[in-house]
Amino acid sequence: MSFILTEDQQMLRDTAMAFARDELPVTHLRELRDNDANGVDADTRTKLAELGFFGVLVPEEYDGVGLGMVAMGQIMEAQGRTIAATPLLQTAVLGASTLILGGSEAQKAEWLPKIASGEVTVAVAVDEGTHHAPLNIATEAERNGQGYTLNGAKRFVTDGHHADMFIIAARTFGEAGQAHGVSLFIMPKDTNGLTVQALNTVDSHGAAHLHLEDVAVGEDAVIGAVDGGWEILEPALDRGRIALAAEALGSAQAAFDMTLDYLQTRKQFGQLIGSFQSLQHRAAKMFTELELTRSCIGAALSGIDENRNDTAELASLAKARAAELIHLVSNETVQFHGGIGMTDAHDSGLYMKRARVQEALLGGASYHRDRYAKLNGF
Amino acid sequence: MAFDAPEELEAFRTEVRDWLEENCPASMRTPMRDDEIVWGGRLEKFKNPDSKIWLERMGEKGWTAPEWPAEYGGGGLSKAQARVLQQELRRIKARPALFSFGLWMFGPALLEFGNDAQKKRFIPDIVKGKTRWCQGYSEPGAGSDLAGLQTKCEDKGDHWLINGQKVWTSYADQADWIFCLVRTDKTVKHDGISFLVFDMQSDGVEARPIKLISGSSPFCETFFTDVKVPKEQLVGELNAGWTIAKRLLQFERSSISAGGFGGTGGSGILPPQEYAKQHVGVDETGRVSDGDLRARITDHLMYAKAFGLTVQRSTEQAKAGQEVGHTASIMKYAAAKMNQDKCELIVEALGTDGLGWSGDGFAEDAKKATRGWLRSKGNSIEGGTSEINLNVIAKRVLGLREHQ
């Protein structure tokens, strides 16, 4: 396990931080929101593609740069700092990972270069209920002569409202709750019977419900083994969880920095409010949580690159602690700012809104505590 | 900075391995027993005779203090070599040869602030475990506000004369020498403190053990009545003791957060989830059936894991020459919380079995856990309260100002 960035990773981090600061400041998200863009941002997508960010996990033989999760984590943390809306989590992490881990040679050759170049964006659609429960898949994929017919629905699929291609987790065997019988299907957005219902979400990033009615796909749409999709999906979800935790860490750090700045400039009773001990102690506790969580995320990112056997545990650790962290820091950011923190003109509220989405996606603290306990045998 | 070529390090590893194979007694490769910990000094009884041999051999090599200069009896190893030594000790599960405030706190401070004669006089005996040191810091009127200390030190021409009282002096009744903060100027606060060392067998020194809520304890009240101290036993300049005191506190906080905490109860106590499984029970899927307790135990385990990873991260950063900042204060605060949470969860999981005090009606590990839980309440008080540590983080790390 390494917590020290290599020169390449450090350069990528510097580039990503500068890009987020200069090209994707919070004001940019505000503009998107005020123009009802619902998080859809073609210009940013082009710039991300030019920077090569979509291909960070994609191996070089598929036209990516193959730098790995530690590198990807730096980009996620950077976009978290400015709570930017980008397709990276879904496309560059979840989509790419699912194909890298389970795709056939033909699938990889067809899709990975398009992902790496930014030509195609992907949304992996798993959850069907209001809480993350990736085994509770009821969407059915029934065998027909030429392939499969899918019926069901997916809820709150991030980037679902503008993705070019979906990866749908559906059940080919068994019932909701079982790992065996989950299969993964590639499905372009214009497939007959697939309806995309765009959602306006609290964080202004947008999402979509998907409705599948007699959607027919070919046999070549299946990623990995029929009934064996969970073997691919679970590690892919873990990569997504760790990347999302890194994003949340960036948001928490930025909100904390903003709060610290306010403590050092705002005066009441003739004093800087940062001199009040009740605020100092809460700030110090937040800082301690930030540092502890940063270590968990560093460990989880490098754990993937090193192919460790405890990556599931590390992913749940990272996601649970990042969720708790961003929850605490976003609430305190509003409270420390007082009245101004309640106004739409101030950024505190935007961080809190994005925080709740970061928490819920791919499992919140309680989901991952439960999983962590199970992995630890109790 | 010394550069260690990989092949030289590997040669060193072979050397260490061979030496340990030859010199580490078999019983020193078994888990430490609480009653066989060696603190050294003239009162050390070496309950296990092997521990005496082990200390002598390690002390002779200077490997109780691997990175201290060889000229003062230390190991004289580079950081990389010391790491190799640690790895090899861990590999054979060797017990620490010596527990010592001299090694953890006083020695590092003396190496930084002492003069050559003092280092020559005191450091070798710390390395060999011949002198046991105690710390004279807190006073009845000076706890968190340590700089308010009043123990009087007068210049009597050919000696210093000490009068006053210290409290929470760990193992004062067992120690040979004390490093002590005294007041040499009453007109100023921080700039009127000096750092002295003296023999605990001097006339006028008395140590009385303090009984804690957990039963017996290592702490004492220590009284000084007209204690005469030779002039050359002042460390650093007169009235410049506060700088040394603060530096030493950093060493103390690092050693506490590195695992030297009182209150886990020692060996034989299981982690909280094991007691929960035994005493609360599990459902058909193997989960602890009290979901709320299970979640809180998990939260604690995650905190503990995060803590361990943070120690690892700051070690790596220090190794790579990166700024580590005031990690000691953060880690001391976090370690106290972590240990107290663990002790509370263990007692809660034990249920009424965790509420015994003595006798055959309760298992040994359960009684230990109960005492450990009570003792752990001191974790957020000793070595700087958690509130003081939060103040330090706010001011030194976050740059927030003092209230005017």
Nearest to A3 among B313, B327, B389 (CB): B313
Name the minimum distance, in Å, from the CA of B181 to any CA of chain A.
28
Q: Is A198 exposed, middle or buried (0-12, 13-18, 19+ CB in 10 A)?
A: middle
Nearest to A287 among B297, B393, B402 (CB): B393
A2 lies in a domain?
A: no
**C-alpha span between B194 and B243 (Å, rounded):** 9
A1 lies in a domain?
A: no
B258-397 under CATH 3.10.129.10, yes or no? no
A245 lies in a domain?
A: yes
Q: Coil, helix or strand for B223?
A: strand
Name the minimum distance, in Å, from the CA of A61 to any CA of chain B.
33
> Per-block average pLDDT, block size 10, for chain A (378 residues)?
93 98 98 97 98 98 97 98 98 98 98 98 98 97 95 98 98 96 98 98 98 97 98 98 98 98 96 96 98 97 97 98 98 97 97 98 98 97
DSSP letters, B159-195, are EEEEEEEEEEEETTTT-SEEEEEEES-SSSSGGGEEE
**C-alpha span between A228 and A17 (Å, rounded):** 39
Contact list, B389 vs chain A (CB under 8 Å): 284
Is B5's Cβ below 8 Å from some Cβ in A?
Answer: no
Q: Coil, helix or strand for B394?
A: helix
Number of domains in chain A: 3
Residue range B145-173: average pLDDT?
Answer: 95
Q: Coil, helix or strand for B70?
A: helix
CB contact under 8 A, B277 and A378: yes
A228, A244, A259 — which closes off a domain? A228
Nearest chain B Cα to A299, which residue?
B309
* Pair A214, A243 in one domain: no
CB contact under 8 A, A321 and B334: no
Q: For A297-330, write each residue's pLDDT tens digit.
A: 999 999 999 999 999 999 999 999 999 999 999 9
Q: Is the pLDDT of residue B25 over 70?
A: yes
**C-alpha span between A295 and A152 (Å, rounded):** 40
Nearest chain A Cα to B317, which residue?
A4
In sequence order, what are the beta bridge partners of A148? A143, A217
A98, A121, A144 — which closes off a domain? A121
Q: What is the pTM of this model?
A: 0.87
**C-alpha span between B16 and A375 (Å, rounded):** 38
Where along chain B do the CATH 1.10.540.10 domains lie? 6-99
A84 lies in a domain?
A: yes
CATH number for A88: 1.10.540.10
Name the minimum distance, in Å, from the CA of A321 to any CA of chain B.
8
A361 lies in a domain?
A: yes
Is B294's Cβ below 8 Å from some Cβ in A?
Answer: yes
Classify domain B133-245 by CATH architecture.
Answer: Beta Barrel (2.40)
* Pair A221, A236 in one domain: no
The reported pLDDT for the residue numbered A198 is: 98
Q: Is the pLDDT of residue B151 over 70?
A: yes
Q: Is the pLDDT of residue B264 over 70?
A: no
Nearest to A292 among B287, B334, B398 (CB): B334
* Pair A220, A236 in one domain: no
Q: Is the pLDDT of residue B4 over 80?
A: no
Nearest to B400 among A283, A298, A369 (CB): A283
Range with lowest mean pLDDT among A91-105, B228-242, B312-326: B312-326
Domain that includes residue A190, residue range: 123-228
Contact list, A298 vs chain B (CB under 8 Å): 309, 313
CATH number for A212: 2.40.110.10
The reported pLDDT for the residue numbered B1 is: 40
Is A106's Cβ below 8 Å from some Cβ in B?
Answer: no
Contact list, A320 vs chain B (CB under 8 Å): 302
**C-alpha span between B269 and B298 (Å, rounded):** 18
- CATH annotation of B6-99: 1.10.540.10
Nearest chain A Cα to B400, which residue?
A274
* Pair A108, A156 in one domain: no
* Pair A31, A15 in one domain: yes
* Pair A136, A201 in one domain: yes
Q: What percentage of chain B exceeds 70 in pLDDT?
A: 96
Name the minimum distance, in Å, from the CA of B378 to any CA of chain A.
19
* Pair A156, A220 in one domain: yes
Nearest to B390 among A3, A284, A292 (CB): A284
* Pair A235, A368 in one domain: yes
Contact list, B397 vs chain A (CB under 8 Å): 284, 287
pLDDT class of B395 with cuts at 50, 70, 90: very high
Q: For A223-239, write each residue's pLDDT tens digit.
A: 999 999 999 999 999 99
Among the listed residues B65, B58, B61, the one whose alpha carbon sits nearest the alpha carbon of residue B103: B65
Name the minimum distance, in Å, from the CA of A111 to any CA of chain B.
37
Is B396's Cβ below 8 Å from some Cβ in A?
Answer: no
CB contact under 8 A, A292 and B307: yes
Q: For B332-362, write each residue's pLDDT tens digit.
A: 999 999 999 999 999 999 999 999 999 999 9
Is A268's Cβ below 8 Å from some Cβ in B?
Answer: no
Is B334's Cβ below 8 Å from some Cβ in A?
Answer: yes
Q: Is the pLDDT of residue B404 over 90?
A: no
CB contact under 8 A, B401 and A274: yes
What secondary structure letter does DSSP report for A93?
Answer: I
Which backbone phi and psi does B92 adopt, to 5 degrees? -95, 10
Count chain A–chain B contacts defined by CB atoms under 8 A: 125
Average pLDDT, chain B: 93
Q: Is the pLDDT of residue B310 over 60?
A: yes
The reported pLDDT for the residue numbered B261 is: 53
Q: Is the pLDDT of residue B6 over 90?
A: no
Which backbone phi and psi does B146 adopt, to 5 degrees? -60, -35
Name the minimum distance, in Å, from the CA of B399 to any CA of chain A.
9
* Pair A132, A209 in one domain: yes
Nearest to B310 among A280, A295, A378 (CB): A295
Q: Between these two residues, B302 and B320, which has the higher pLDDT value?
A: B302
**C-alpha span between A66 and A86 (Å, rounded):** 20
Is A363's Cβ below 8 Å from some Cβ in B?
Answer: no
Name the minimum distance, in Å, from the CA of B86 to any CA of chain A.
18
* Pair A147, A244 in one domain: no
Evaluate whether A58 touches A114 at the Cβ level (below 8 Å). no
Q: Where are the beta strands (DSSP E) in A202-346?
A: 207-218, 222-223, 267-268, 271-272
Where along chain B do the CATH 1.20.140.10 domains lie? 258-397
A228, A259, A274 — which closes off a domain? A228
Is A284's Cβ below 8 Å from some Cβ in B?
Answer: yes
CB contact under 8 A, B306 and A275: no
